[in-house]
Amino acid sequence: MSTVYTRPLGRLVEQLQRLPGVGPKTAQRLALHILKRPESEVQALAQALIEAKQQVGLCSVCFHLSAEPICDICRAPNRDNSVICVVADSRDVIALEKTREYRGKYHVLGGLISPMDGVGPDQLHVQPLIKRVSQPQVTEVILAISPSVEGETTTLYVGQLLKPFTRVTRIAFGLPMGGDLEYADEVTLARALEGRRELE
Amino acid sequence: MYLSSLSLRHFRNYIEQHVDFSAPKVILVGQNAQGKSNLLEGIELLSTLRSHRTSRDQDLIRDAEPIGQISAILERQSGSVDLKLTLRSNGRRTVAVNSEAVRRQLDFLGNLNAVQFSTLDLDIVRGGPAERRQWLDAVLIQLEPLAAYVLQQYQHVLKQRNALLKQHRVHGTPLDPQQLDLWNQQLATAGVRVIERRRRLLERLAPLAAHWHSRISGHHEQLQLVYQPNVEPEPQSPEAAQSHFLAQLQDKSTAEQYQGQTLVGPHRDEISMTLNQTPARQYGSQGQQRTLILALKLAELTLIDEVVGDPPLLLLDDVLAELDLNRQNQLLDAIQERFQTFITTTHLGAFDANWLHAAQILTVESGRLVWPKA
């Protein structure tokens, strides 16, 4: 395959192809596009890649992606210190932030418990979480972890550890908004039925 | 339900083949390795999205082609449905109903119901418990689409729990009792769902199978199917069943840690099959075992018909010629015109004349269908 491209182009296509969601065709399209752009633009892209990699690390408090030792969310004075939302990944923080409904703090575990992948509680940022939650100002921990097999185990595990310190809640699972009951899939519907609540 | 047409494109040894079915009985005749079973496999895939012959999509696609396609028009009592399955040699398969892409495969299952009967099915009697569980689960998925999810969930938890036990045994990683406890709970929750669904299904299937077996054997033999779960179900309450499950895990915990695998749960279920109180596996003759399988298949057929409210298709892959005339007639009598039946065979000679009557006969030659001259 690589003989089709002249060598530096082949290397670029190969590198692009390693990105998630990028197949051979997309990689080729992106590579050819990059070659067509002015050199300054390509420089900027290359620099952005390097800088992002070199400068972005993890927040020392919540383990969200951050260029500073402590991230913007943890430093924000107007955010609620008493609530911590626990998520698996930085992606989840971004998704929740987009709602603009949550004003508390976060804690990123950095994965889910999965013995198959060799991930146990020790590989996750669980100990720092316990330390944070043991502080008196924390009144609630919200577990916002997806309801997969691994997510469920992680939720239960973390929940058990935190319960002695504070109130622990988990987000609800069920029907998407604006969706008709009849269009919901069976698994979601069964799950929603399981998590039914008393009418208030 | 009734399959009115089928198209195969770069599927197995077919390049491009369209066929309209014009009779409730379709007989595919041809030498070995011409593509008769491939056609039935195509129908099976539309029904279950699984093939009993392979689990790799690559095997299903014609050599060197990137894409293989199976599409069909199915007449159901509720109307006509257009089904399409696209297989990719490197990539995920996609499914469409009435030309609209269906995101989740679960929504595709349950459109086409079919009962498959091939020579491999003798393993249900002769093979080990795994073969019997696989058979039961396949029926379950046809009847309750959610069962596919429940079974998959259980397998997933089981894998994770086994990985944890193995880490401990192989690498000497200390077993975190708190984590093990959580996997136990998850295993029990998922396991109880599997057990309960299997129990319910066998309760309905057993009398039907007994009825058909008795009828085919001329009322000489009594077939008994008994569910032998590894953990006894407690139909009264799922909570009781779960605590029972957890207690069993507790009992076996030393052995589990020693062996590094899960020893309790529905992955160790058995379904016992006895003829006149004697285990069919060891003592049944070839003929008795064939009758038993036929009875199981007829039980599946009638149960799906009853539950779904639309008669499923019957796929007979190379098995009809192996049945003697008496069993052939019993089968014919059972399906009548109600169940559309696809039959593959190398020769028509062994068939009772009644089977050939009003059947659509197609010849299969190296991946092509040949219509007889009118």
CA pair distance B272, B279, nearest whole angstrom:
8
Structural domains present in chain A? 7-55 (1.10.8.420), 69-198 (3.40.1360.10)
Do B161 and A121 lie within an 8 Å CB cutoff? Answer: no
Those residues whose C-beta lies under 8 Å from the C-beta of residue B105, and which sit 6 or more positions away, are: B49, B95
Do A118 and B167 lie within an 8 Å CB cutoff? Answer: yes
- Residues of chain A found within 8 Å of residue B161, distances taken between Cβ atoms: 115
Predicted confidence band of residue B266 (pLDDT cuts 50, 70, 90): very high
- Residues of chain B found within 8 Å of residue A185, distances taken between Cβ atoms: 104, 106-107
At residue A179, the pLDDT reads: 66
At residue B50, the pLDDT reads: 85
Asked whether B313 and B43 are in contact (CB, 8 A), the reply is yes
Per-residue model confidence as pLDDT tens digits over B124-159: 999 999 999 999 999 998 888 788 889 999 999 999
Those residues whose C-beta lies under 8 Å from the C-beta of residue A176, and which sit 6 or more positions away, are: A184, A188
Average pLDDT over residues A118-123: 93
Per-residue model confidence as pLDDT tens digits over B269-280: 999 999 999 999
- Residues of chain A found within 8 Å of residue B262, distances taken between Cβ atoms: none
Structure tokens at B142: 């046809």
Do B159 and A157 lie within an 8 Å CB cutoff? Answer: no
Residue A75: how many other CB atoms lie within 10 Å? 13
**Residue B314 falls in which region: left (phi positive, over 0), alpha (psi -120 to 50) or beta:** beta
| pLDDT more than 70, % of chain B | 99
Asked whether B212 and B331 are in contact (CB, 8 A), the reply is no
- Residues of chain A found within 8 Å of residue B178, distances taken between Cβ atoms: 157, 160
At residue B2, the pLDDT reads: 94
- Comparing CB atoms, the residue among B153, B160, B182 nearest residue A116 is B160
Cα distances from A149 to residues A116, A158, B249, in angstroms, run 12, 14, 19
Q: Which residue has the higher pLDDT, B41 or A200?
A: B41
Q: How far is A187 from chain B (nearest CA, A)?
A: 7
Feature table: binding site of B for ATP: 30-37
Per-residue model confidence as pLDDT tens digits over B202-234: 999 999 999 999 998 888 899 999 999 999 888
Structure tokens at B356: 């050939």
CA pair distance B290, B275, nearest whole angstrom:
12
- Residues of chain A found within 8 Å of residue B164, distances taken between Cβ atoms: 115
| CB < 8 Å from A in window 152-211 of B | 153, 156-157, 159-161, 163-164, 167, 176, 178-179, 182-183, 185-186
Per-residue model confidence as pLDDT tens digits over B80-104: 999 999 999 887 899 999 999 988 7
Task: Give every strand in the sheet of B114-118, ordered side by side.
Answer: B114-118, B313-317, B341-345, B25-29, B360-365, B368-370
Average pLDDT over residues B63-72: 93
Residue A177 has pLDDT above 90, yes or no: no
At residue B119, the pLDDT reads: 87
Residue B373 has pLDDT above 70, yes or no: no
Q: Which residue has the higher pLDDT, B198 or B175?
A: B198
Helix B145-171, helix A149-162: angle, nearest 10? 60
Do B163 and A185 lie within an 8 Å CB cutoff? Answer: no
At residue A154, the pLDDT reads: 96
Do B178 and A113 lie within an 8 Å CB cutoff? Answer: no
Task: Report the predicted TM-score, pTM, of the whole model to 2 decimal places.
Answer: 0.83
Residue B195 has pLDDT above 80, yes or no: yes
Residue B306 has pLDDT above 90, yes or no: yes
- Residues of chain A found within 8 Å of residue B179, distances taken between Cβ atoms: 113, 120-121, 153, 157
What's phi and psi for A143, nearest 5 deg? -95, 115
At residue A2, the pLDDT reads: 47
Do A120 and B149 lie within an 8 Å CB cutoff? Answer: no
ipTM: 0.76
Q: How far is B28 from chain A (nearest CA, A)?
A: 37
In chain A, the residue whose alpha carbon lies closest to the alpha carbon of B105 is A185
At residue B155, the pLDDT reads: 96
∠ at Cα A118 (A114, A124), nearest 5°? 70
Do A115 and B161 lie within an 8 Å CB cutoff? Answer: yes
At residue B132, the pLDDT reads: 96
